Structure 1
Amino acid sequence: MTLRINGSAPDKAGFAALRRDKDVIASFVLSERETVITDSGLQPNRTYSYTLEEEHYRTTVQASTMDTTSHDIQWQSYDTLGAYGSVEAIWVLHRNDVIAAGLFRLSDGKGGYDVSTHYNVARWDGTSWKLKKVSFELNNIIWTPDINSLFVYNVNDIWYGGGSLIHWDGSTNTRVRHVEALGNFEIKSVWGSPTHDIFIVGDSGSIARYSNGTWIKMNSKTKVDLADIWGTSSDDVWATGTNIRDGKSVLLWYNGIEWTVMYDNQTAGIDMHYIMSVWTDSKRYAYLYSDGFYKMIKSDRSFIPIQKNGINRPAFLLRASAPNDMFVVGQVVEVGHWNGISWRTYPELLSVGDADLKSVHVGDNMVVAGGFIFNGLYGGPFVIRGYR
């Protein structure tokens, strides 16, 4: 629970105490400047009374914590989507409509894969996966690019990001050209605001915004390779990434006017080593997964450790339906679930074998994770479905 306390005029500043129910949890000087207090260790689904006491002033507010979500997930046997490739992005529209995107090549029947087969989307219909091609025509050639990311508004409004940005409008896939504005970088992640502004990120600090049919190349103030982006509105967007070559990692925030470097692991006082993924549902904070699980308070750039270890190996992606229903995936088929008060991992998934998970999405009491499973000299795409 985060509480923000503002005093009145500076000449009325004085000592104050904050009580949770009957217990004093903080003492401080009440002034015009905002004081941020984080109260941890609270029970889920409970209402607390907070009383601010000062010599000439007293006020009480009530605040409720969220309930937890269930850790109990019935994982199904994994599904393979070809002999070669990887699932790089997933979106659960509902239980009978799931999109998995990436690169999928079929078997050649001889222990290898058929280079002539090239799919980039698989669709779950509640019974089975169907491979599809999201393609566009350019210079009289049909192109089916590999897909790294997708963002879905609804079944008739889907954005695919990779070598190109492709928009499905319910009837046609259209390539949205970005090379003129951006220098032709590969899209690593795509996110769409409620007002349909599309943001994309890529290597060397590349960020761009597509609004009302126009591309805007943005100054990210970094050269770090960016891998993830998420936000709540067009003036509240977070992006993050880490260089493989030198380990430099940054967290960026956009206020609708400019990007700000909120964290740089090579200059900051706190070292979280790397930040791979970001997710938020509030204008006040963002959740991050690094060597642990953190919440960043935007106003003072403070990092609040939520819990050190969610999964035991490096993470690739953090996605959630709410702050009490978060999933993180990573190497060796690790899936971690945060239910608002604790983490749980699922060792039963290790039976999949030598595989990495690159993507995850949750919706309609269903979670789907995907990546690649090693099958000799290369990896093949696979997904795991879990149900509540």
Structure 2
Amino acid sequence: MLSHFLKNKIIYMKTKTMNIFIVLLLTLSFLSCNTNEPENNDKPVLTVEDVSCTEAWLKISNAKGSLITLKRDDKEIMQFKLTGTDTVVLDNSLLPNKTYKYQVFRIQNPVSGIQVSATTMDTTSHNFTWQTFTFGNETSVLFDVVIINENNIWIVGEIYKKDSLGILDPVFYNLARWDGNKWTLERVYYYYQGSYSLAHLKSIFAFSNNSISLGGFFRSNGDSFESIPLNISFSSEVNKIWGQGSKDYYIAGNNGNIAHYKDGFWQKIESGTTSDLLDIYGNEQNIFIAGYRDFKPSALLKVENGIIKKIIEDENNLFNYRTDFISGAIYSVWLTKNKLFTTTSFDLYRSDLETDGKAEAIWKGAPQDWGMISLRGNDVNDIIACGAFGRIWHFNGITWKKFNELENNSDRLYRIEIKGNICIAVGYRYENGIERYGLVRIGRR
């Protein structure tokens, strides 16, 4: 009897007309000519787990021990034997914006499951038009951005201006706001223990349209600001914020610093790493943190019940580009539904939320043409990334587009955000190798 038992593997099978990946949640063995295992007489259950523009994830349940035929649009696409409780099949040869009908059949003691439909996502448009703004003089830089709507955009950084005599004012602006017509520069002061100080803001996050966190230690309703004392040991500026509300959020910083603010109290979380933590993103059940620092291992962390789980922290793949494992310097994370996206110095990787580092590279270009350090998206078919040389890449679910008109060797973009049909990237531009200006790119489609 020819059979192969595998656990937690991905099996690649080539059928008559298509390629299919089978992800085994428990154990799967291939169809064999002879078997002594008892046949399951229950009716197999097929459910659609997820779709992209070209893929459908289908879960087969209630079929342990059964020989199964899977059909798409009444055509058999494969046969296999299940020895596990649940098996997820990835059909990756589909067309965008099309509905397919799937059904599973048990071969022995024949019985069919209920037919289910899966409609793939449509692609999104690459057709952004761009507007560019520069801010400040000589030593200015912009670090982060949040989009409330197209007429309400907030950016934090350090913007230095010259006075009427051409002398640089040492007191910088740390907030710029767009109202749909013009930018307004502001200074936000931090109040702590009876005194005010001008805040160095590197991060901003909007919990809602009228609840915004700046640096993790300010809260704004859009009109006024309230200081939140960061009364724990946090030896770093706050690089990034993520949370579910103004009373429950996380901050990440350099040297492995992580803290959790909940219901008025701060709690320091031990990360177990000394890498600089550059990005944090999550949902109700999953929170991921990305980090990298020169001459240190790159890190991908996950918060589970208030405790850090290290997914990656090693130097083995820092300079070794792999398409099946998250490799390179890890800069940014973003997730939607049950997919994690991680951008590194090499590529953009897609994985499930329980990954141990295994992932699929979805850009797969020459690493020197990549250079992305920040990513965000509307969905799996609408992802945007920015980074070195002012580059911005967009993924529409099938193809990538680089906006060549934006590339400039003097530019570096730190953060990007997208909301609906507007995206904004921020960073800086060097002039003459000395002067540095805050840089904003706004894309609309």
With the length of structure 1 as denominator, give the TM-score of the two structures: 0.88
Could you say what the CA RMSD is over the residues aligned between the two structures, in angstroms? 2.6
The 8 Å contact of residues 236 and 256 in structure 1, kept in 2 or not, is answered as: no
Question: Among residues 289, 295, 313, which one is paired with 1:245 in the alignment?
Answer: 295
Distance 1:310 1:128, change over 3 A: farther
Distance 1:212 1:310, change over 3 A: farther
Mapped partners of 1:108, 1:169: distance in 2: 31
Q: After superposition, give the CA deviation of every residue in 1:315-338 in whole Å (9 maximum; x if it has no partner).
A: 110011222221100111100111
Structure 1 residue 253: deviation in Å?
2.0
Given residue 14 of structure 1, which amino acid in structure 2 is its aligned partner?
A: S
Given residue 382 of structure 1, which amino acid in structure 2 is its aligned partner?
A: L
Aligned twin of 2:304: 255
Q: SS of the counterpart of 1:204? A: helix
Aligned twin of 2:443: 386
Aligned twin of 2:342: 288
Aligned twin of 1:53: 105
The 8 Å contact of residues 326 and 349 in structure 2, kept in 1 or not, is answered as: no
Q: SS of the counterpart of 2:122? A: coil
Q: SS of the counterpart of 1:147? A: coil
Quick check: 250-259 or 151-160, which moved more? Answer: 250-259
Structure 1 residue 262: deviation in Å?
2.4
Question: Among residues 196, 212, 219, which one is paired with 1:142 in the alignment?
Answer: 196
Q: After superposition, give the CA deviation of every residue in 1:329-361 in whole Å (9 maximum; x if it has no partner).
A: 0111100111111110111113x5611111111
Aligned twin of 1:356: 412
Q: After superposition, give the CA deviation of every residue in 1:233-281 in whole Å (9 maximum; x if it has no partner).
A: 2x321111112223x2222222335332223454678351122111112
**Largest Rg, 1 or 2:** 2
Distance 1:310 1:110, change over 3 A: farther
Aligned twin of 2:242: 191
Mapped partners of 2:149, 2:326: distance in 1: 39
Given residue 298 of structure 2, which amino acid in structure 1 is its aligned partner?
A: S
Residue 158, structure 1, aligned to residue 212, structure 2: yes
Residue 365, structure 1, aligned to residue 429, structure 2: no
The 8 Å contact of residues 162 and 169 in structure 2, kept in 1 or not, is answered as: no
Q: After superposition, give the CA deviation of every residue in 1:181-231 in whole Å (9 maximum; x if it has no partner).
A: x44432111011158511111123222111111112223343332110011
Question: Among residues 312, 320, 332, which one is paired with 2:389 in the alignment?
Answer: 332
Mapped partners of 1:293, 1:166: distance in 2: 32
Matched residue pairs, number? 377
Q: SS of the counterpart of 2:398? A: coil
Mapped partners of 2:437, 2:267: distance in 1: 36
Question: Among residues 242, 263, 267, which one is paired with 1:216 in the alignment?
Answer: 267
Aligned twin of 1:44: 96
Aligned twin of 1:297: 352
The 8 Å contact of residues 8 and 31 in structure 1, kept in 2 or not, is answered as: no
Distance 1:264 1:177, change over 3 A: same
Given residue 52 of structure 1, which amino acid in structure 2 is its aligned partner?
A: V
Quick check: 271-280 or 131-140, which moved more? Answer: 131-140
Q: Greater relative contact order: 1 or 2 (C-alpha under 8 angstroms, separation 6 or more)? A: 1
Structure 1 residue 368: deviation in Å?
1.4
Mapped partners of 1:6, 1:219: distance in 2: 40
Given residue 412 of structure 2, which amino acid in structure 1 is its aligned partner?
A: D
Aligned twin of 1:236: 286
Given residue 289 of structure 2, which amino acid in structure 1 is its aligned partner?
A: A
The 8 Å contact of residues 159 and 172 in structure 2, kept in 1 or not, is answered as: yes
Distance 1:24 1:317, change over 3 A: farther
Q: SS of the counterpart of 1:193? A: strand
Q: Which runs of 5+ in 2 are unaligned?
A: 1-54, 318-323
Residue 345, structure 1, aligned to residue 402, structure 2: yes
Distance 1:383 1:14, change over 3 A: same
Mapped partners of 2:204, 2:247: distance in 1: 14
Given residue 370 of structure 1, which amino acid in structure 2 is its aligned partner?
A: V
Aligned twin of 2:31: none
State percent identity of aligned pairs.
Answer: 27
Structure 1 residue 122: deviation in Å?
0.6
Structure 1 residue 104: deviation in Å?
0.6
Structure 1 residue 28: deviation in Å?
4.0
Mapped partners of 2:427, 2:194: distance in 1: 33
Quick check: 192-201 or 332-341, which moved more? Answer: 192-201
Structure 1 residue 132: deviation in Å?
0.9
Given residue 441 of structure 2, which amino acid in structure 1 is its aligned partner?
A: I
The 8 Å contact of residues 254 and 276 in structure 2, kept in 1 or not, is answered as: yes
Mapped partners of 1:273, 1:201: distance in 2: 20
The 8 Å contact of residues 165 and 187 in structure 1, kept in 2 or not, is answered as: no
Mapped partners of 2:299, 2:104: distance in 1: 37
Q: SS of the counterpart of 1:308? A: coil
The 8 Å contact of residues 355 and 374 in structure 1, kept in 2 or not, is answered as: yes
Structure 1 residue 130: deviation in Å?
1.1
Aligned twin of 2:42: none
Mapped partners of 1:115, 1:288: distance in 2: 39
Matches within 5 A, 1:39-188: 39-55=91-107, 56-59=110-113, 60-76=115-131, 78-83=132-137, 84-107=139-162, 114-161=168-215, 165-180=217-232, 182-188=233-239
Mapped partners of 1:38, 1:300: distance in 2: 17
Q: SS of the counterpart of 2:406? A: helix
Distance 1:58 1:260, change over 3 A: farther
The 8 Å contact of residues 6 and 30 in structure 1, kept in 2 or not, is answered as: no
Mapped partners of 2:230, 2:257: distance in 1: 12
Q: Which runs of 5+ in 1 are unaligned?
A: none
The 8 Å contact of residues 240 and 279 in structure 2, kept in 1 or not, is answered as: yes
Distance 1:33 1:300, change over 3 A: farther
